[in-house]
Amino acid sequence: MDSMELVEPNKEEIEIWRTIQQWTVRIRVRDGVFFLTCKSKMSHASAHELEWIIDAKTGASLVRVGGFPHVKKTRYVWPGPDGKVWEVDEFEGPLAGLILAEVELQQTHEKVEIPGWVGQEITGLPSWSNKSLADTIGS
């Protein structure tokens, strides 16, 4: 595949990109909108994340090419009792039956009211990342 410019990052995003050595890059589709998302782990519980909307035709073409490790899931958003927003992912295909929930924090030391339906804490366990799950099931 020839190289192509998908996004035009701003100066701050370029600086963040340059200061970090390892990124995981993915294409996300949410409500028909395609996103290029780049994540880099900072610690066991935090990460840098850069995200841009990309052209739908180009995004669909990249997804269609295939051959990339991927997971398929439906994401639900649930407002927690403490006002924090939980993202609940219900996986499909080979990972059907797996449900993961996470809450995004502004700072790692924030207090979080854990809902009663939450099971095992897996923060920082690399085998539960989307990348690891995708690598486990293959492309």
Q: How do residues 94-121 score in pLDDT, each as one tens digit?
A: 999 999 999 988 887 889 899 999 999 8
Structure tokens at 41: 């782990």
Q: Which of 44-48, 51-55, 64-68, 77-81 has the lowest mean pLDDT?
A: 44-48
The whole-model pTM stands at: 0.74
As a whole number of Å, the end-to-end CA separation of the chain is: 18
Mean pLDDT of 118-128: 88
Q: What pLDDT, on a 0 to 100 scale, did the predictor assign at position 108?
A: 79
* The 3-state secondary structure of the chain, one letter per residue: CCCCCCCCCCHHHHHHHHHCCCCEEEEEEECCEEEEEEEEECCCCCEEEEEEEECHHHHHHHHHHCCCCCCCEEEEEEECCCCCEEEEEEECHHHCCCEEEEECCCCCCCCCCCCCCCCCCCCCCHHHCHHHHHHHHCC
- Look at domain 70-139 and name its CATH class: mainly beta
| Domain limits, CATH 2.40.320.10, in the chain | 70-139
- Contacts of 67 by beta carbon, 8 Å cutoff, 6+ apart: 139
For residue 125, pLDDT over 90 is answered with no
Q: What pLDDT, on a 0 to 100 scale, did the predictor assign at position 43?
A: 64
Tens digits of per-residue pLDDT, 62-96? 888 877 888 999 999 999 989 999 999 999 999 99
